[in-house]
Homo-oligomer: A and B are copies of this chain.
Amino acid sequence: MVNEIGGSSRQITTPKSEWIDISLPLRDSMVQGPVEPLTPHIEFILHRKKFNNVAMCQININSHNGTHIDAPYHFIEEGETVDQMNLDTTIGRARVIEIRDNMSIKPEELKTHDIQPGERLLFKTRNSSRPERMKKFFADSVYVTVEGASFLAEKKVRLVGIDYISIGGGGLENIDKTHLILLNHGIYIIEDLDLSEVKAGKYEIICLPLRLEGGDACPVRAIIRPV
């Protein structure tokens, strides 16, 4: 019999995982977008020394803090809420596309990638190489233009991901239009991915929205592995 409270280190070793974490750390006071009104606050409220050796934290965050997924309901009143999202869309084959344009993602560049219906596309841009991305908001992040969003809708992709807080960039009008086009066409959006260590190519993705009842978005863990 194992000692009642005694322990050992992890008894099951697994081979080095193939999964690559493409989520950013979710942390207290982390940078957020221009619209979110409250700073993320994550705090330990039970402390081991005071409470029976238990640590427990309180998480006060916006649905769009950190790596997160947008549900259609974020922009569309009758759209799917985050707990209604189709998990066959958030799990499956995905492609990482490296974007050369340092300003925005436009149809001209997208056309060179032979995009197929039903694809899950993750855009790696120069955002991934900005070292201060966790600390300050860049209004000049690489984003999907309105025309780029329309092109992706026409191509009938099912999910898009980007390596910064907003797929619509820092300008409010473009933020709104790009989101609205994508979400109105049932295209899910994952924002604030960390693609810095990832090469362009074919992968499998897993990203599970929380079952946040009636929510417009939620923080997620997103992972990929090469196929």
Using a CB–CB cutoff of 8 Å, the interface residues on chain A facing chain B are 1-12, 14-15, 17, 19, 21, 23-27, 35-38, 42, 44-46, 48, 51-64, 66-67, 73-77, 83, 86-89, 91, 117-118, 146, 150-151, 153-154, 156, 158, 172, 176-177, 180-181, 184-186, 206-221, 223
Contact = CB atoms under 8 A, between A and B. Distances in A.
Q: Which among A42, A67, A212 has the highest number of chain B CB atoms within 10 Å? A: A212
Contacts of A215: 42, 57, 59
Consensus secondary structure, chain A interface: loop
**Stoichiometry, copies per complex:** 2
Given A53-B75, A55-B216, A56-B74, 5 more contacts: A4-B150, A8-B186, A10-B86, A59-B212, A59-B218
A133 to B, nearest CB: 15
16 contacts: A2-B181, A4-B146, A5-B180, A14-B88, A17-B88, A19-B88, A21-B211, A24-B211, A26-B211, A44-B216, A56-B74, A57-B63, A91-B206, A206-B206, A207-B208, A208-B221
A9 B73 CA distance: 13
B216 A12 contact: no
Contacts of A158: 11-12
A26 B213 contact: yes
Contact of A58 (B62, B67, B74, B150): B62
Contacts of A66: 210-211
A55 B186 CA distance: 17
A74 B150 CA distance: 46
A4 B177 contact: yes
A217 B46 CA distance: 12
Contacts of A60: 58-61
B55 A74 contact: yes
Contact of A48 (B10, B36, B77): B77
